[in-house]
Amino acid sequence: MSPARFTVMPEEKFAPLRPAVEARLREAVQQVCREGFEAFLDFGSQVLLAKAFGHVGAHEGTLWLVDDTVGALVPRFNTGARAAEFVGQFQQPLNSGLISYVFHSEQPLCENGVYRGGKYDKALDKQLGLLTCAMIAVPFIFGGEVRGVVSCVQLKKPEEIEADPSGFDDEHLREIQLVADAVGRLLEGKLLRLCLGMEGQG
């Protein structure tokens, strides 16, 4: 016996309100991406991201959001021990680097031997005194648009001459994509509830 099909039909009386609700949601997404996102990113979403980064063998991961006022991607969440040194402060120019490529192309990326490549922007590595050996980066969709990038990396210190970490594969990439999509939908739902007065601010 096949399971019953679950269907929810749109309520006709709400149809006239849809354009106004969608416009308010877009405004709210833009607002929270400009300021306050660190506080808006709830603990559950942080845990989902952190567990996914750990499960694929990443040393740390980052959620980047675009800041059109400075033409850069800005890290808004990071799971590493040194997150306070660059979250909300570092700016990745939109015209350089692999993270910006993923943002513009809206295509995911899984690359090993990153620090040996010519397309990787080494500015953050130099600031932290590290080498990025492997990276996964996927578009972060929030409010129906690509608003940033979710990335995770394997690192080592420049003086380490041992072999690079094990790297990432396509299955790892798919897992990060799924979690990034889920977090985007969770945050969008939370913001919609706030816009409609259905969720407390606290």
pLDDT beyond 60 at 165: yes
How many domains in the chain?
1
Q: Is residue 77 part of a domain?
A: yes
Domain of 120, in residue numbers: 13-195
Structure token pair of residue 11: 């309520």
**Does the residue 144 lie in any domain?**
yes
Q: What is the pTM of this model?
A: 0.90
Task: Say which CATH number the domain at 17 has.
Answer: 3.30.450.40
Q: How confident is the model at residue 200 (pLDDT cuts 50, 70, 90)?
A: low
pLDDT for res 55: 98
Q: Is residue 94 part of a domain?
A: yes
CA atoms within a 13 Å half-sphere pointing along the CA-CB vector of 101: 13
Note the pLDDT of residue 122.
Answer: 93
pLDDT digits (tens, 9 = 90+) for 44-82: 999 999 999 999 999 999 999 999 888 999 999 999 999
